[in-house]
Structures are given as C-alpha cells and as structure tokens.
Amino acid sequence: MRYTCAVLLVCILVAGAAFAQMDKMKPAPELKKLDYFVGNWTSVGDVKAGPMGPGGKTTLHEHTAWMEGKFFLVTHANYTSPMGSGTEIAFLGYDAEDKVYTYDEFDSQGEAVHAKGTVDGDTWTWTNEMKMGGQTMKTRYTEKVLSPTAYSYKFEMSPDGTNWNLVMDGKDTKAAAKALAKP
C-alpha cells in the first residue's frame, strides 16, 4: 500500500512538472490578418427581393475587438433590414487544423451562421450551407478590401454551388479612430 501511494505521488509530481513546462498555446500567425476588421464599422447594403424576404435597404453598426488571448475577434452589432431590426454577436477565428478561417454568428431573430473562410490577396470568401424550406442552399459571402477603412461585399446563394443568385450587396466603412486628448 505504501509503495502504491509513493508511485502514485511520483507520477503526479512528474505529470505536474511536465505540464508546467508545456508552452502556453499561442494564436496562429494567420489570425493577424483579422486585425483589419478591428474597430467600429457601418454597413449600408441593398437586399434583393427573393426567397429570404422583401428587398430594401439594410444598415448595420458593429464594434469588433479581440477577445482576451487574441484567438478570436468578437463582433457586437445592431442592424435594421427589410425583415426587421435586431442585434447579433459573431466570433471570427482560425482553424489551424483545417487551415481555414471560421465565422460563427448568432442573432436576435434566432438565426445561427457557421461559415468557413479563405483570403486571397484583398478578397475574403466565406462559405456555408443553410436550410430553406427543406432545401439545402449553399451561401457565399465575399468581401473585397477597398482601403484600410472600407470594403465592398456581396452575399450570394445557390442550390447547386454552380449558379449563384445575388441576395445582398453593399459597403462597410470603418469609423476613424478617436484621437487621444493631449494634456
């Protein structure tokens, strides 16, 4: 019994020492590209009439910042659209295993979006699938960086991933950073 307790104690101490020597997990270097989205943004868009509802103007005001640890960006937003107004929260990250960016959004109208993203030069492309009326639709959201403070976007849907229909397009503009008051 005494021998078993001693062996157990040694195992615990060795495991504890090994754990203490493990490096703290660090954010993937790919996450630095998401720095572009940090700040306060205003989106103005045009929703096309179609399967998602009536057409019309949409506006969105969002605040995006790094979560502690810098593994995820967190976006809080308020929006108005032809289908109503509401709020949403979104998380952007990077999946090093699959080598894709991740986007997870939840809104006050009960919708959840889980997309995978890639970046090619100045163009971000986010894709996912969603159910509509029992049919699975593929979606594609493309952001084209126009400047350090603006990007255009378009949201498209397709039943087959080949023929895409434009659902919404518009432009996001970043608010100027507030200058610190000098004493």
Q: Phi and psi of 147, rounded to 5°?
A: -165, 180
Give the pLDDT confidence of 125-151 residue by residue, as tens digits. Answer: 999 999 888 889 999 999 999 999 999
Give the pLDDT confidence of 63-103 residue by residue, as tens digits. Answer: 999 999 999 999 999 999 998 999 999 999 999 999 999 99
Q: Is the pLDDT of residue 2 over 90?
A: no
Stated length of the chain: 183
Q: Is the pLDDT of residue 24 over 70?
A: yes
Whole-model pTM over 0.75: yes
Mean pLDDT of the chain: 88
- Computed from CA positions of residues 123, 41, 100, 167, in that sequence, does the dihedral angle turn out positive or negative? negative
Q: Which domains are seen in the chain, by residue range?
A: 36-174 (2.40.128.20)
Nearest to residue 115, comparing CAs of 124, 105, 107? 105
DSSP code, position 25: P
